[in-house]
């Protein structure tokens, strides 16, 4: 989906938005069920590992992460990537 210089990838219950400085690129996203991970307790370290291994490696630096999970945890993790 194209929207105001950003491309959006919809994945299960969250969206990953990527902004490209050079040119807008839309990448085809495969079935995202592999991104769902059930855990009893989420830690900052687990979230960083998940974002790096499953998202950053495949889609490069993210512009925005929308989630229904604990935003305080997400904010702390994202600060480590910046």
CA-closest candidate to residue 38, choices 1, 76, 12: 12
> What is the number of structural domains in the chain?
1
Max distance between CA atoms of the chain, in angstroms, equals: 41
Q: Is the pLDDT of residue 76 over 60?
A: yes
> For residue 76, what are its two tokens?
């702390």
CA-closest candidate to residue 25, choices 6, 44, 50, 38: 6
What does the pLDDT read at residue 5?
A: 43
Q: Which domain holds residue 34?
A: 2-81
* Statement: the pTM of the whole predicted model exceeds 0.75: no
Q: Is the pLDDT of residue 55 over 50?
A: yes
What does the pLDDT read at residue 42?
A: 67
């Amino acid at each position: 989906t194209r929207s105001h210089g950003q491309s959006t990838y919809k994945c299960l219950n969250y969206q990953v938005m990527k902004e490209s400085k050079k040119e807008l690129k839309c990448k085809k996203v495969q079935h995202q069920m592999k991104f769902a991970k059930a855990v009893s307790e989420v830690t900052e370290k687990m979230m960083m590992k998940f974002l790096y291994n499953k998202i950053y490696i495949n889609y490069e630096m993210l512009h925005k992460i929308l989630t229904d999970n604990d935003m305080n945890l997400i904010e702390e993790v994202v600060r480590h990537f910046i």
